């Protein structure tokens, strides 16, 4: 046993310090990014915000709403082969949609079938597991890169620089960063495992960029300002679940509570998800997610406008004319938390 004494930070622990700026309007800010990938011979251009691969967020409908605005979507992995094939074959060549998969034999076999049918229309793959530190995960990543050298691979989740470096060297173009910060994730409570998300982003971004890799901050963003902090900390992409949940495009179940419309939203390691897709929680494990009811929020377009407006606003406060300049112009100020947040309400 050992204890690390170095301070680690979450989004709520900091604010971005304003700086002198020559920008006169948020409209002057370019929030698109261009990336080249370490392994895949492909160029990316778009707004690097990704709808999470949760079954109530990463939907075909969400993709159809976000793609025209330049955002990306990681589809959930529970669509069947024909629907996935038809969807990818209908995509424009410039769309950024991640095919999501786990690391079981069934996951791999399904991917091969859909990839054979859709061909180059599947250019982005998200290899998604809760624990990206296992040998089986690394071995799978090696195999996928060897067989499909042309696809962009996003893989995770991890929270430390050394594992970020390993995944990039093993074939990942983008490393997904975050263990436990999501609004419907209970890993930190159930397993006691995690890492403050802002520090994870800063440390993993530094490790990735030194090798020509990229990271995607996954989880913990509850407001547009958190997204700005993630980009300011060095994230190349930011993945959103709860902030994009509760909309028409999410296909979640709508229920009535006290005269108000609510939408069910749950983590993909929750009892709800496992009962739906795996026949229940296996006897050797516990659920590490929860279900909540969110206010019904209508179409996603207004939320996207708020998100992008908030990021543009952050850029104007520090004088970043382009999103890629934000991390270079960001100075974080530590803020004191309220006593009841640290010690609990008396």
Q: What are the residue numbers of the active site?
A: 185
Cα separation values, 63 from 49, 56, 96, 249, Å: 12, 12, 9, 9
Give the integer Cα–Cα distance in Å for 254 and 187: 26
At 252, is the secondary structure helix, strand, or coil?
A: coil
Give the integer Cα–Cα distance in Å for 1 and 190: 20
Give the integer Cα–Cα distance in Å for 153 and 125: 5
Q: Within a 10 A sphere around the Cβ of 325, how many other Cβ atoms? A: 15
Give the integer Cα–Cα distance in Å for 212 and 36: 9
> Which residue's structure tokens are 């983590």?
267
Give the integer Cα–Cα distance in Å for 48 and 37: 14
Give the integer Cα–Cα distance in Å for 211 and 217: 18
């Amino acid at each position: 046993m050992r204890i690390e004494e170095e301070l680690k930070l979450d989004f709520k622990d900091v604010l971005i310090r304003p700086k002198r700026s020559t920008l006169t309007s948020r409209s002057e800010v370019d929030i698109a990014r261009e990336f080249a990938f370490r392994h895949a011979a492909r160029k990316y251009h778009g707004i690097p915000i990704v709808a999470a691969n949760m079954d109530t967020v990463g939907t075909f409908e969400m993709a159809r709403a976000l793609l025209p605005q330049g955002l990306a979507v990681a589809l959930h992995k529970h669509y069947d082969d024909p629907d996935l094939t038809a969807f990818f074959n209908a995509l424009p060549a410039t769309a950024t949609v991640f095919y999501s998969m786990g690391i079981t034999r069934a996951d791999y076999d399904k991917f091969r079938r859909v990839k054979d049918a859709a061909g180059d229309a599947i250019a982005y793959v998200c290899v998604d597991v809760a624990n990206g530190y296992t040998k089986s995960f690394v071995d799978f990543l090696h195999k996928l890169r060897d067989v499909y050298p042309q696809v962009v691979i996003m893989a995770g989740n991890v929270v430390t620089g050394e594992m970020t470096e390993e995944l990039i060297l093993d074939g990942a173009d983008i490393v997904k960063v975050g263990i436990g910060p999501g609004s419907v994730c209970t890993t930190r409570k159930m397993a006691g495992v995690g890492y403050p998300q802002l520090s994870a982003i800063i440390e993993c971004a530094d490790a990735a960029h030194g090798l020509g890799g990229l990271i995607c901050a996954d989880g913990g963003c509850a407001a547009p300002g958190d997204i700005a902090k993630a980009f300011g900390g060095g994230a190349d992409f930011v993945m959103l679940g709860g902030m994009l949940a509760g909309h028409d495009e999410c296909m979640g179940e709508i229920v009535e509570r006290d005269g108000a419309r609510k939408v069910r939203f749950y983590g993909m390691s929750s009892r709800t998800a496992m009962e739906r897709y795996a026949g229940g929680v296996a006897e050797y494990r516990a659920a590490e997610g929860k279900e909540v009811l969110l206010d019904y929020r209508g179409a996603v377009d207004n939320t996207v406008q708020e998100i992008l407006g908030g990021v543009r606003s952050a850029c104007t406060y520090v004088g970043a004319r382009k999103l890629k300049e934000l991390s270079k112009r960001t100075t974080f100020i530590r803020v004191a938390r309220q006593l009841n947040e640290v010690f609990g309400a008396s």
